[in-house]
Chain A
Amino acid sequence: MLEQFLIFTRGGLVLWSCLEVGKALKGSPVDALIKTCLLEERAGDSSFQYDAAGAGYTLKWRFHNELGLVFVAVYQRMLHLLYVDELLEKVMREFSILFVPTRTVYHDFDDTYRQLLKAAEANSHFKRVGQHRHIDNPRKGSESQARNAQTGRKSDKSAGKSSGSNDDGADEDGEADGSKFGPVGYSNGTGNGHANGNKANGLGSTKSGRSSASGSSSDEDSVAHKTSSENAFDVSKLAKLRNNKSKKATSGMEGPKGTSKDDAVSKKPQKKNRVWGDAPPPSKLDFTDPVSVDQGDDGVDIAVVEKGLSLMDKDDDDESFRVEDMMVEVEKENGGKKAASKKGWLTSLVQSVAGKPALEYADLEPALKIFKERLMTKNVAADIAEKLCDSVAASLVGKKQGSFTRITTTVQAAMEESLVRILTPKRSVDILRDVHQAKEVGRPYTIVFVGVNGVGKSTNLAKVAYWLQQHDIKVMMAACDTFRSGAVEQLRTHARRLQIPIFERGYEKDPAVVARDAIYEAKRTKQDVVLVDTAGRMQDNEPLMRALSKLINMNDPDLVLFVGEALVGNDGVHQLTQFNQKLADLSSTSSQTQSIDGILLTKFDTIDDKVGAALSMVYTSGAPVMFVGCGQNYTDLKKLNIKSVMKSLLT
């Protein structure tokens, strides 16, 4: 049985709801759905799971984008209700007929709903009984796939099967519809809608009248053709643009820092001399090598860094990107082709004056494909790009377009919006504020840096230290990388340059204990912040992950920062999820599972405009990017500029 059926506006007003009598939902599944699913750009998913104390719910939803309505069904997860998708579609269709924007009360919908529910239940029962009789033939399978693609919603297999029309079932379908909902009156012929692969059903009411079997199939054909040709075109286009861009970037960058991406790759293996701060003699940059450290100890080249402003505190107004130009170009080509192949100029003229019909998935598909590919060229993980496009599609299908708006423009706007939404943290991140808070209570604020090997944990730890120092905060470093030789010395060098106290206990010690002692020491000497450096570890190294988990559990840090390279694609996302997962799993105290609170992206300066990792990581973990490391100086630590990331992703 359904627990609840809810219809509300995107503004949040509940227009109609049906709560099973005598039942109250545990927790607030609908609010959770909105906050953790719809606003996290996961609207393209097929369902959402919600767990409250003693209850597990599954939620399914549909958007009516033209009217700005959301339909949500909530049911017990244990009951695998098969009719929910069908019911949602039908309710959406019926309700949209009734809907008037100024009206807020729809008690008269109660009866219609009861009928729809009864019919859907009966229907699903019939299908379950009769299922063994219908073996899907391949043609039907592909048909139902096409339909699924059209709605932009991957309904799970069983649902797809149950709502897909089967020849035997069609009669009963039609009959049920005819007799039970006759008085309500569909805008399209019910028999028609059911006979031809439920196209109208899939798309809601907006399109229903026009669909006919032949029309829809040829439609699909032409769409497929179009997308493939556009596809081929687009690849070359993108390559060209990429070339332009990188050319521009190389010439545009200042000084020795300017490395084009290819350079960076070739340079990476042999670590080159870096200059930290304003220290004149070129010393060995990465203080990993104990030998160099010995030299350092002799005081040869350790100069205290001169105070400069950490980039964290600078507002960077990025150069304006040429999104618009690009879009126009792409659009011109697409648009030209489309207009020529699909509609006559007269039709398009009339349409552009009279306003276009509601958007269909097929209309959006080419544009979405372009965006998806563009995102992927920017290093966004493939499945994330896909999910994002699904979500954007879900928010656009059925929307009426303005008279003179192009589809690409519409998609672009929606895409921009959702990218900004993803990258905007869901709660505020203000480390300085938290540090002051901790200071008031008289305890040091602890930040633990975690991550895989060689991503630049210690280096960026030093940058964070420098930034905090700039804000009159007393910082202490804790060398808890007791695993890799040279790690402690490396940190010591940074500490000396920054004139920051460092807590170390050499190697062969349990890092968790070292961290505990460090925090104790910081408290004693009245330090404000302890920055804990940990050993880099692969996420699948069980013993090391266990050690990390112990460190975190024992010391309960205020912030666990995941340090990751900006240049990794899928890999980094996997690392982050694994870290998050492992830390949650291994945490001994079940009271509060602490996992990654934030992300520090390193080597941001080497990736040109391939900023996809930022998006992928934030999307999968939900943790915000708190810092961005962007160079070889202590000052090269920035906040993530959401707007500019969004722009480079779409350029």
Chain B
Amino acid sequence: MPEVAFESMEGSEQLQSGKVSEQLSIAMPEWLSQQWETLKHDQAALYTTIAVLFVTLLTLFIVTRVTFKRKKSKTVLLVGLNGAGKTALFYQLRDGTTHQGAVTSMEPNADTFILHSETSKKGKVKPVHVVDVPGHPKLRPQLEELLPKSCCLVFVVDALDFMPHVRAAAEYLYELLTNKEVVKRRIPILLTCNKMDKITAHSSNFIKGQLEKELNKLRKSRTSVSAADVSSEISLGVQGEVFNFTQCSNKITIAEVSALTGKVEQVEQFIREYV
């Protein structure tokens, strides 16, 4: 018999505990408002609280801004046509060797590293974030997402097998030079003539000239009726003048390198200039 009574008591206790928690939840706002009241009475405390809050928020804001910005534009992009030697250049910059060669890239290569030539340097060397963007036309849409984060572009050109691809190269370059992001932020571009280890490779002057010529033609065809063309966003160069690279608002420099043999100092210098 007492057992039963005990059981029932326990039951009621459970009920009560349920009620207690309910009461607690109701009491919460009351407790808060009490705090509020005391704060109100003590005006000085109120102001300090607000001030502290404000300062914290401000510093937080600034810190995130700074870190975000730093992250935003510290990427070096290696771009160019399929087979130009971007992947080779990427590994040459990172490891000082092209390993066992490369095949057509299906995905970007991205890494943050200290340039291989600087690994022996004393003192603090900042690592760079380099992305090798696949050159195949079908993979080119990926570039759109990477451009906003870039601080400079290394446009790799195959100087050996240049003439068959001059138009395609110029079209790619045209897209870059009229890209909103590139123009707006004046992203510097290094025209990198690769594969200079081969004697039959074209000189950088020749390549520059050919590209300018092709870009000039492209400019004509793409903006032929600019008045009606809604799609012509940004025009290239100075209207009515033969195009050359000095007309671009962003700085365009030219270099001769060989990713295979490791003669890539000009690219390293360029990267160091902007990172």
Complexed CA–CA distance, A426 and B229 (Å)? 25
Assess whether A471 is interfacial by the CB under 8 Å rule.
yes
Using known A-B contacts A12-B87, A104-B95, determine if residue A425 contacts B103 with beta carbons closer than 8 Å: no
A437 neighbours in B (Cβ, 8 Å):
217
Choose one: B95, B104, B229; the contact of A31 (CB below 8 Å): B104
Complexed CA–CA distance, A437 and B136 (Å)? 24
A14 adjacent to B100 (CB under 8 Å): yes
Q: Which residue of B lies closest to A70 (CB)?
A: B106
Choose one: B101, B137, B139; the contact of A428 (CB below 8 Å): B137
Q: Which of A13-36 contact B (CB under 8 A)?
A: 13-17, 30-31, 34-35
Complexed CA–CA distance, A10 and B109 (Å)? 8
A424 adjacent to B140 (CB under 8 Å): yes
Assess whether A167 is interfacial by the CB under 8 Å rule.
no
Using known A-B contacts A104-B95, A433-B218, determine if residue A10 contacts B141 with beta carbons closer than 8 Å: no
Assess whether A435 is interfacial by the CB under 8 Å rule.
yes
Chain A's nearest CB lies how many Å from the CB of B61? 28
A10 adjacent to B106 (CB under 8 Å): yes
Complexed CA–CA distance, A475 and B137 (Å)? 30
B132 neighbours in A (Cβ, 8 Å):
11
Interface size class of B (residues with CB under 8 A): 35 or more
Using known A-B contacts A435-B221, A436-B221, A472-B225, determine if residue A6 contacts B137 with beta carbons closer than 8 Å: no
A470 adjacent to B225 (CB under 8 Å): yes
Assess whether A157 is interfacial by the CB under 8 Å rule.
no
Chain B's nearest CB lies how many Å from the CB of A11? 4
Choose one: B100, B139, B221; the contact of A433 (CB below 8 Å): B221
A104 neighbours in B (Cβ, 8 Å):
91, 95, 99
Assess whether B262 is interfacial by the CB under 8 Å rule.
no
The secondary-structure label for the interface of chain A is mixed
Choose one: B105, B224, B228; the contact of A11 (CB below 8 Å): B105
Q: When each residue 418-435 of chain A gets 1 if its CB lies under 8 Å from chain B and 0 otherwise, what string results?
A: 001100111110101101
Complexed CA–CA distance, A315 and B168 (Å)? 23
Complexed CA–CA distance, A11 and B230 (Å)? 37
A421 adjacent to B139 (CB under 8 Å): yes
Choose one: B102, B134, B140, B230; the contact of A315 (CB below 8 Å): B230
B103 neighbours in A (Cβ, 8 Å):
6, 8, 12, 14, 30-31, 34
Assess whether B138 is interfacial by the CB under 8 Å rule.
yes
The secondary-structure label for the interface of chain B is loop
Chain B's nearest CB lies how many Å from the CB of A69? 11
B136 neighbours in A (Cβ, 8 Å):
35, 39, 426
Chain A's nearest CB lies how many Å from the CB of B97? 8
Assess whether A349 is interfacial by the CB under 8 Å rule.
no
Using known A-B contacts A11-B87, A427-B168, determine if residue A433 contacts B222 with beta carbons closer than 8 Å: yes
B224 neighbours in A (Cβ, 8 Å):
432, 436, 471-473
A17 adjacent to B230 (CB under 8 Å): no
Chain B's nearest CB lies how many Å from the CB of A304? 17
Complexed CA–CA distance, A163 and B231 (Å)? 56
Assess whether B148 is interfacial by the CB under 8 Å rule.
no
Interface size class of A (residues with CB under 8 A): 35 or more
Choose one: A14, A68, A433; the contact of B217 (CB below 8 Å): A433
Choose one: B99, B100, B171, B231; the contact of A430 (CB below 8 Å): B171
A34 adjacent to B106 (CB under 8 Å): yes
A97 neighbours in B (Cβ, 8 Å):
none
Chain B's nearest CB lies how many Å from the CB of A66? 14
A470 adjacent to B104 (CB under 8 Å): no
Chain B's nearest CB lies how many Å from the CB of A468? 10
Using known A-B contacts A426-B137, A430-B221, A471-B225, determine if residue A13 contacts B104 with beta carbons closer than 8 Å: no
Q: Which among A15, A426, A433, A437 has the highest number of chain B CB atoms within 10 Å?
A: A433
Assess whether A547 is interfacial by the CB under 8 Å rule.
no
Q: Which among B101, B168, B222, B228 has the highest number of chain A CB atoms within 10 Å?
A: B228
Q: When each residue 108-147 of chain B gets 1 if its CB lies under 8 Å from chain A and 0 otherwise, what string results?
A: 1100000000000000000000001010111111000000
Complexed CA–CA distance, A545 and B100 (Å)? 49
Chain A's nearest CB lies how many Å from the CB of B176? 13
Q: Which among B87, B100, B168 has the highest number of chain A CB atoms within 10 Å?
A: B100
Choose one: A31, A70, A427, A430; the contact of B137 (CB below 8 Å): A427
Q: Which residue of A lies closest to B142 (CB)?
A: A417
Assess whether B107 is interfacial by the CB under 8 Å rule.
yes
Complexed CA–CA distance, A426 and B100 (Å)? 27
Assess whether B220 is interfacial by the CB under 8 Å rule.
yes
Chain B's nearest CB lies how many Å from the CB of A229? 36
Q: Which of A417-462 contact B (CB under 8 A)?
A: 420-421, 424-428, 430, 432-433, 435-437, 440
Chain A's nearest CB lies how many Å from the CB of B27? 32
Chain A's nearest CB lies how many Å from the CB of B272? 24
Complexed CA–CA distance, A281 and B167 (Å)? 47
A38 adjacent to B106 (CB under 8 Å): yes
Q: Which residue of A lies closest to B101 (CB)?
A: A14
Chain A's nearest CB lies how many Å from the CB of B154? 16
Chain B's nearest CB lies how many Å from the CB of A392? 14
Q: Which residue of B lies closest to A424 (CB)?
A: B138
Complexed CA–CA distance, A9 and B230 (Å)? 42
Assess whether A289 is interfacial by the CB under 8 Å rule.
no
A12 neighbours in B (Cβ, 8 Å):
87, 102-106, 109, 134
B107 adjacent to A68 (CB under 8 Å): yes
Using known A-B contacts A10-B106, A13-B109, A427-B168, determine if residue A313 contacts B221 with beta carbons closer than 8 Å: no
B105 neighbours in A (Cβ, 8 Å):
10-12
B95 neighbours in A (Cβ, 8 Å):
104
Assess whether A326 is interfacial by the CB under 8 Å rule.
no
Assess whether A265 is interfacial by the CB under 8 Å rule.
no
A433 neighbours in B (Cβ, 8 Å):
171, 217-218, 221-222
Complexed CA–CA distance, A15 and B100 (Å)? 7
Complexed CA–CA distance, A105 and B104 (Å)? 19
B228 adjacent to A313 (CB under 8 Å): yes
A39 adjacent to B228 (CB under 8 Å): no
Q: Which residue of B lies closest to A11 (CB)?
A: B109
Q: Which residue of B lies closest to A433 (CB)?
A: B221
Complexed CA–CA distance, A617 and B224 (Å)? 31
Chain B's nearest CB lies how many Å from the CB of A649? 16
Choose one: B101, B107, B137, B217; the contact of A425 (CB below 8 Å): B137
Chain B's nearest CB lies how many Å from the CB of A314? 5
Interface CB pairs A-B, < 8 A, 28: A6-B103, A9-B109, A11-B87, A11-B108, A12-B102, A12-B103, A15-B99, A31-B103, A31-B104, A34-B104, A35-B82, A104-B91, A104-B99, A313-B231, A314-B231, A424-B137, A426-B136, A426-B138, A427-B137, A428-B171, A430-B171, A430-B218, A430-B222, A432-B221, A435-B221, A436-B224, A437-B217, A471-B224
Q: Which residues of B contact A (CB under 8 A)?
A: 82-83, 87, 91, 95, 99-109, 132, 134, 136-141, 168, 171, 217-218, 220-222, 224-225, 228-231
- Among all A-B residue pairs, the 9 with the closest Cβ atoms: A12-B105, A11-B109, A433-B221, A10-B107, A432-B221, A34-B104, A14-B100, A12-B102, A436-B221
| Additional A-B contacts beyond A12-B109, A424-B137, A470-B225 (5; CB < 8 A) | A10-B106, A31-B104, A34-B104, A313-B229, A435-B221
